[in-house]
């Protein structure tokens, strides 16, 4: 690696900012590298027009399913293969860093960029994000986990402050980033545009240095989101290494001047330059091979991933898979598919599967009529007539690119009214109607679910989605996709409904850690389709749940009791009924997929990380106690349950005079000592019982120090201190 300390201050500052929109600056001995979007395809712009909004042209690349679709596979091995293919494409297109994955939590279904994120659950997002990073980086290409952190809305994203408490921040919003950093060691992390509790992410030393590097051990480079740096000097001081895109060297001059004025430590500039040089070295040292990629093989992988992403939401009467018959295919998305989201991630696909063509291919000799549908009376009449004269209607519904994108949020989650009217008219004449959905953010589905006997949810499936949908419709592929986010009954039911987006520059994360299913479960709300839901053309039965001591893992037998080969996604959830802090009724602690032939039974093993039992209280704490473990096919379809005792973490916070009677009595070591001591002070058990009250319970919130006064001289301060010291020494 080049000797950075031998470079001039000016050169070191220059390494820390871009040369162009997509390249770093070349300095003596350190060549320039290319960073580009990401995440579901390589958007390499080679013309003179460059932008971060997906407007100008880019070179052809495979458009894999965007994160919203990929997440529905619940399959880290598949995501890792997609990542590796993306790494190969990056190399062949001359890209050294691919800007992804996006592991922000889907806090509200209105966020315009939800299609680029995985889930409402941090474990699912973190597991899939880590797999993606491993895949990309296995090819010598750097990943950039983004947008760090709390970029959960598009509205005012470059200014608004995400105002959040510590527990929520740690348990929900930093969690997936932490998992990706610890498990997959990404070479870069991209800081977000927004502020966090008032401080811009790019200038946030706590976030970029204390947490990311010192706590999590991140050893890579922090790059800004494009245009996220307001004050480069403050950003470098906080731990930002690379500002993108170029500022025409303006911010380099700011850095140099600040060092010369003694306002910025030169050592941090050198460190940032070293990290850039290290990234350049990591991404350029093994450049042999991959001069081209196999577009056909990648298209097949895109089709495999897309098919695995399709969620069978509903299938009354076993309407699907289709048996060869006369079909009416209705809806313009069948001919002009909606397959990716708008904005910086927009990929120029190498080719595009058209659902209608793929359906016709699989329908064989049977007649397939097509009507685009629409809202005019003639178009509706044609579609209804076609549906009526066919054996089955397949109706494509969804959101257009204009209705959702990076850069803005939706105001509602409804499907267009004319689509619902068309559905109504079609099911009135054709009871065998299958709905196929395309959308980036969650849409309200109560009406669709009420009317249509069968629903396939493709979210966004990438360039091979047309083939994948046809494969699932005809049973070439048995669907195994699972929802990675809850479909609520109404927007008003959603957790952040009253606090979204920001108001006067602040977004209050008032629902705290009750995001997604955590909220619907805690509030006992019905939903249209729960987290983790997805049907199959076969059936699975669960038996013999065995949970390891201390909940380090579990095993459950799963049997395919149907007639087709299928993949089940077994989900494990934990609950702690006696939690000392507010928690959701249950939360995801692991999952695993298993593919079974008809009649086959396998034991599915799910390891559980102790970290996934912990809550944040200034540090991660695992509360000891009896955890209820459930496994099932969705959070609302639990098939087996067991209770297991988990040893808690050793207490490290000593008791003080401020500790309450309740806190002391909840501690197994302190309780007997305190009980003995207060026995003298409190009225005797019998007389308390005579009053019909539970005195200890009533007194639980009294700081122990006040017992000195209440004891009327029986206990002195010195005795209390001695008691506390004895308890603390036995606990440590």
Burial class (CB in 10 A: 0-12, 13-18, 19+), 720: middle
Question: Least separation, in Å, of the C-beta of 99 and ligand BGC?
Answer: 4
Q: Which of 36, 69, 13 is nearest to 438 (CA)?
A: 69
Dihedral of CA atoms 107, 215, 199, 263 in degrees, nearest 10, equals -160
Dihedral of CA atoms 483, 488, 491, 492 in degrees, nearest 10, equals -140
Question: Least separation, in Å, of the C-beta of 347 and ligand BGC?
Answer: 12
Question: Least separation, in Å, of the C-beta of 146 and ligand BGC?
Answer: 5
**Closer residue to ligand BGC, CB minimum distance, 227 or 248:** 227
Tell me the residue length of the chain: 732
* 222/236 Cα distance (integer angstroms): 10
**Closer residue to ligand BGC, CB minimum distance, 98 or 513:** 98
- Size, binding site for ligand BGC by CB under 6 A: 9
Contact 32, 19 (CB under 8 A): yes
CA quadruple 159, 182, 308, 38: dihedral sign = positive
* 189/169 Cα distance (integer angstroms): 17
**Closer residue to ligand BGC, CB minimum distance, 144 or 270:** 144
Q: Which of 419, 381, 386, 428 is nearest to 400 (CA)?
A: 419
**Closer residue to ligand BGC, CB minimum distance, 92 or 405:** 405
**Closer residue to ligand BGC, CB minimum distance, 103 or 588:** 103
Provide CB contacts within 8 A for 74, sequence distance 6+: 124, 481, 482, 484, 569, 591, 593
Active-site residue among 108, 163, 225, 353?
Answer: 225
Q: Is 226 in the site for ligand BGC (CB under 6 A)?
A: yes
Residues 405-424 that bind ligand BGC (CB under 6 A): none
For the chain, what is the radius of gyration of the CA atoms?
29
Burial class (CB in 10 A: 0-12, 13-18, 19+), 694: exposed
312-314-317 Cα angle (round to 5): 120
Which member of 7, 84, 99, 313 binds ligand BGC (CB under 6 A)? 99
**Closer residue to ligand BGC, CB minimum distance, 276 or 394:** 276
Residues 438-477 that bind ligand BGC (CB under 6 A): none
First-last CA distance in the chain: 47
Token pair listed for 238:
């906080």
Residue 326 DSSP SS3:
coil
DSSP result, 207-252: IIIIIIIIIT---SEEEE-TT--S-HHHHHHHT--BB-S--TTHHH
Question: Least separation, in Å, of the C-beta of 37 and ligand BGC?
Answer: 5
Alpha helices in 563-705 (DSSP H): 661-665, 670-679, 685-691, 695-698
Residues 11-30 that bind ligand BGC (CB under 6 A): none
Question: Least separation, in Å, of the C-beta of 35 and ligand BGC?
Answer: 8
Question: Least separation, in Å, of the C-beta of 54 and ligand BGC?
Answer: 8
Q: Which of 642, 482, 514 is nearest to 575 (CA)?
A: 642
Q: Is 156 in the site for ligand BGC (CB under 6 A)?
A: no
Residues 492-551 that bind ligand BGC (CB under 6 A): none
**Closer residue to ligand BGC, CB minimum distance, 225 or 241:** 225
Q: Which of 185, 195, 110, 184 is nearest to 147 (CA)?
A: 195
**Closer residue to ligand BGC, CB minimum distance, 40 or 147:** 147
Question: Least separation, in Å, of the C-beta of 41 and ligand BGC?
Answer: 13
Q: Is 88 a catalytic residue?
A: no
**Closer residue to ligand BGC, CB minimum distance, 99 or 394:** 99
Token pair listed for 83:
């990542």
**Closer residue to ligand BGC, CB minimum distance, 101 or 566:** 101
Q: Which of 294, 290, 240, 298 is nearest to 269 (CA)?
A: 240
Token pair listed for 328:
């009416």
Q: Is 37 in the site for ligand BGC (CB under 6 A)?
A: yes
Contact 34, 284 (CB under 8 A): no
What is the number of the residue whose Cβ is closest to ligand BGC? 52
* 556/554 Cα distance (integer angstroms): 7
Question: Least separation, in Å, of the C-beta of 226 and ligand BGC?
Answer: 4
As annotated, the active-site residues are 225
Footprint of ligand BGC on this chain (CB under 6 A)? 37-38, 52, 99, 146-147, 225-226, 344
């Amino acid at each position: 690696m080049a000797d950075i300390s031998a470079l001039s201050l000016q050169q070191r500052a220059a390494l820390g900012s871009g040369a162009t929109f997509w390249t770093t600056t070349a300095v003596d001995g350190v060549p320039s590298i290319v960073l580009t979007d990401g995440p579901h395809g390589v958007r390499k712009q080679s013309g003179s027009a460059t932008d971060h909004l997906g407007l100008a042209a880019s070179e052809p690349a495979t458009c894999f399913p965007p994160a919203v679709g990929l997440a529905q596979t619940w399959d880290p091995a598949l995501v890792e293969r997609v990542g590796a293919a993306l790494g190969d494409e990056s190399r062949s297109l001359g890209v050294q860093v691919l800007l992804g994955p996006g592991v922000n939590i889907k806090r509200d279904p209105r966020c315009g960029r939800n299609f680029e994120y995985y889930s409402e659950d941090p474990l699912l997002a973190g597991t899939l994000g880590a797999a993606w990073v491993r895949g990309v980086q296995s090819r010598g290409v750097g990943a950039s986990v983004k947008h760090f952190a709390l970029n959960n809305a598009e509205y005012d994203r470059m200014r608004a402050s995400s105002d959040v408490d510590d527990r929520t921040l740690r348990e929900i919003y930093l969690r997936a980033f932490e998992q990706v950093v610890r498990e997959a060691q990404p070479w870069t992390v991209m800081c977000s545009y927004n502020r966090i509790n008032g401080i811009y992410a790019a200038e946030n030393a706590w976030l970029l240095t204390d947490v990311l590097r010192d706590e999590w051990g991140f050893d890579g480079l922090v790059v800004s989101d494009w245009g996220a740096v307001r004050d480069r000097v403050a950003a470098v001081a906080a731990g930002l290494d690379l500002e993108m895109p170029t500022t025409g060297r303006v911010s380099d001059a700011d850095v140099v001047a600040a060092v010369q004025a003694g306002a910025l430590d030169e050592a941090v500039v050198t460190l940032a330059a070293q990290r850039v040089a290290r990234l350049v070295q990591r991404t350029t040292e093994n450049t042999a091979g991959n001069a081209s990629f196999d577009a056909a093989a990648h298209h097949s992988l895109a089709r495999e991933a897309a098919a695995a992403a399709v969620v069978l939401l509903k299938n009354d009467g076993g309407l699907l898979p289709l048996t060869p018959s006369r079909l009416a295919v209705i809806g313009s998305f069948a001919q002009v598919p909606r397959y990716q989201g708008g904005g910086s991630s927009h990929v120029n696909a190498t080719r595009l599967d058209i659902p209608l063509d793929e359906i016709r291919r699989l329908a064989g000799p049977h007649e397939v009529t097509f009507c685009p549908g629409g809202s005019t009376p003639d178009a509706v009449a044609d579609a209804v007539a076609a549906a009526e004269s066919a054996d089955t209607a397949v109706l494509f519904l969804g959101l257009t690119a204009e209705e959702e994108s990076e850069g803005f949020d939706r105001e509602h989650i409804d499907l267009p009214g004319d689509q619902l009217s068309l559905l109504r008219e079609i099911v009135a004449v054709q009871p065998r109607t299958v709905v196929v959905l395309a959308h980036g953010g969650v849409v309200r589905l109560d009406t669709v679910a009420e009317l249509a006997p069968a629903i396939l949810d493709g979210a966004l499936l990438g360039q091979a989605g047309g083939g994948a949908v046809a494969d699932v419709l005809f049973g070439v592929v048995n669907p195994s996709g699972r929802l990675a986010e809850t479909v609520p009954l109404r927007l008003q039911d959603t957790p952040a409904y009253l606090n979204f987006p920001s108001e006067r520059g602040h977004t209050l994360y008032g629902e705290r850690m009750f995001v997604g299913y955590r909220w619907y479960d805690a509030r006992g709300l019905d939903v249209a389709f729960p987290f983790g839901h997805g049907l199959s053309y076969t059936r699975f039965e669960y038996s013999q749940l065995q949970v390891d001591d201390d909940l380090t893992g579990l095993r459950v037998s799963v049997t395919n009791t149907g007639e087709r080969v299928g993949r089940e996604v077994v989900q494990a959830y934990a609950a702690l009924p006696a939690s000392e802090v507010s928690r959701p009724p249950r939360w995801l602690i692991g999952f695993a997929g298993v593919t079974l032939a008809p009649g086959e039974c396998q034991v599915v093993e799910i390891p559980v990380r102790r970290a996934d039992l912990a809550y944040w209280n200034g540090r991660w704490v695992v509360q000891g106690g009896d955890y209820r473990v459930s496994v099932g096919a969705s959070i609302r379809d639990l098939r087996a349950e067991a209770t297991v005792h988990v040893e808690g973490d050793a207490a490290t916070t000593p008791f003080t005079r401020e500790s309450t009677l309740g806190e002391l009595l909840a501690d197994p070591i302190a309780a007997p000592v305190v009980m003995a001591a207060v026995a003298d002070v409190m009225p005797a058990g019998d007389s308390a019982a005579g009053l019909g009250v539970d005195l200890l319970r009533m007194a639980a919130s009294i700081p122990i120090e006040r017992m000195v006064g209440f004891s009327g001289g029986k206990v002195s301060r010195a005795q209390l201190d001695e008691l506390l010291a004895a308890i603390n020494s036995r606990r440590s």
